[in-house]
Amino acid sequence: MFVVLKNSWALLLGMMLLMLGNGMQGTLLGIRGGEENMSTFQLSIVMSCYFLGFLFGSRMVPDMIRRVGHVRVFAALGSMISAVLIMYAVAPNWIAWSLMRVIIGFSFAGVYITAESWLNDASTNETRGQALSMYLIVQMIGIVAAQGLLNLGDPNGFILFIIPSVLVSLAFTPILLSVSKAPAFASTKPLSFRKLYDASPLGCIGMFLLGGVFSAQFGMAAVWGSQAELSIREISIFIAGIYIGGMVFQYPIGWLSDRIDRRKVILGITAVGAVGLMIPVLWDVPFWVLCGVGALGGAVSNPLYSLLLAYVNDYLDRTDMAAASAGLLFINGLGAISGPVITGWMMASFGPSGFFLFMAVLFAALAVYALYRMTRRKRSADATSSFTAVSPSGTAIVLEVAMTEADGEGPESEHGLAEAQARHDAKG
């Protein structure tokens, strides 16, 4: 751990500051949008546009990096993020916000790709797993701490928009002054979506459904809080609880999934999640129960992302992992784009409880499909890969590295992690 911190402290510090800024802006828009009398549907479009931009960015930024280099792309997109964070307060209009969310989603995808490339290149085969864990930890710390910063000002003013802009600007200073040139992107063997689905139907369907859950949690929680007439403090506590639940239960669920059939774990946790999320739908419960339900949702969704990756990995050749990570990221992104829109429609139809109902339905659907798949295929005798914790907000670099780490073999060279990102992104 100390070796990782010594070699990558600047990157990790910068990423934590980035997550502070990103975590603030998502929640803040949901609160400010309610104050501006934007409808639930309008805010759902705003939130969905972030994931649309992120999906475009994850596929287009690698080509930009090849043309002009990592440093220029990183600096340009960072400046764009900082500017957009200020412009939110200048133009509180849902159409303008939607366009800005596309831009900021695109830009965050780009800075994540670049920063993760540098982090990977700074790691050796012996420290790569530790670096991935530290990266996940600083992401979670940043998002949780961001919720506390929301209580420092009035969402109707400018200060809460200025703070994340400053944090994002500061994030680039340690990164740009300390990192070395990242490796060049290479090529990868293509893998069609059909082949990926044939390898793991449960992994593909699960990734799509989970994209909807994650985008609802990340994008619509603050909108739900405003509609439920919670205070800023209560909204920030609720959202922080989602991520704390995800962080605490990553490793217990991972430990369990390495010892029994992963499909049983998927079935079990999604069934528990579906039942738990129905509590605020069926009953009027106090705030502390809502926080517990939110933490339960995070405790299922965040580990489930890593669990599905490990399950897909059980049925892949190592040579297919780069292309598979690209396909899984795209499938998850499609689900994420639709998540806020459907959540917004359900909240408009059923009231605030529609937020929990949407996620409960998706968890229930995944549980039923996991049970069905258990009747269609026996557990693989070769399912020997291990669980590796991954954040749902990571790019394909982290996805492929996690899949490779779970396979029990590190990348072939000391720069294999960055090469892994490059191989998948060259496929586009």
pLDDT digits (tens, 9 = 90+) for 305-331: 878 887 887 787 766 666 677 788 888
Interval 114-130 mean pLDDT: 67
Whether the predicted pLDDT of 191 surpasses 70: no
Q: What is the DSSP string of 179-244?
A: --PPPPP-------HHHHHHH-HHHHHHHHHHHHHHHIIIIIHHHHHHHTT--HHHHHHHHHHHHH
CB-based contacts of 427: which residues, under 8 Å, 6+ apart?
187, 188, 190, 322, 323, 326
C-alpha dihedral sign at 302, 303, 308, 314: positive
The torsion angle over the Cα atoms of residues 413, 417, 419 and 420, rounded to 10 degrees, is: 120
Taking the alpha carbons at both ends of the chain, their separation in whole angstroms is 33
SS3 392: coil
**Section 351-355 average pLDDT:** 92
Residue type, 45: I
Q: In the chain, what percentage of residues exceed pLDDT 90?
A: 31
Average pLDDT over every residue of 342-354: 92
pLDDT of 104 higher than 90? yes
The ranges assigned to domains in the chain are 2-427
- Per-residue pLDDT of 192-232, as tens digits, reads 778 888 888 998 999 999 999 999 998 899 999 988 889 98
**pLDDT at residue 411, as a whole number:** 42
What is the model's pLDDT at position 385? 57
**Of 37-46, 227-236, 397-406, 408-417, where does mean pLDDT reach its minimum?**
408-417
Contact criterion met (CB below 8 Å) for 20 and 167: yes
Q: What is the mean pLDDT of residues 57-75?
A: 81
Q: Which CATH superfamily is domain 2-427 in?
A: MFS general substrate transporter like domains (1.20.1250.20)
Confidence band, pLDDT 50/70/90 cuts, at residue 302: confident
- The pLDDT value recorded for residue 300 is 92
pLDDT category at 381 given cuts 50, 70, 90 is very low
Highest mean pLDDT: which range of 40-49, 111-120, 140-149, 242-251: 40-49
* DSSP notation for 240-275: HHHHHHHHHHHHHHHHHHTTS-HHHHHHHHHHHHHH
Q: What would the mean pLDDT of 105-117 be, rounded to a whole number?
A: 83
- The CA-based angle 407-424-389, given to 5 degrees, is 40
Residue that is written with structure tokens 């991935």 in the block: 132
pLDDT higher than threshold 90 for residue 100: yes
Residue 384: strand, helix, or coil = coil
Q: What is the pLDDT of residues 236-292, one digit of tens each?
A: 999 999 989 888 888 788 778 778 888 899 999 999 999 999 999 999 999 999 999
Looking at the predicted structure, is the pLDDT value of residue 422 above 60? no
Residue 181 has pLDDT above 80, yes or no: no
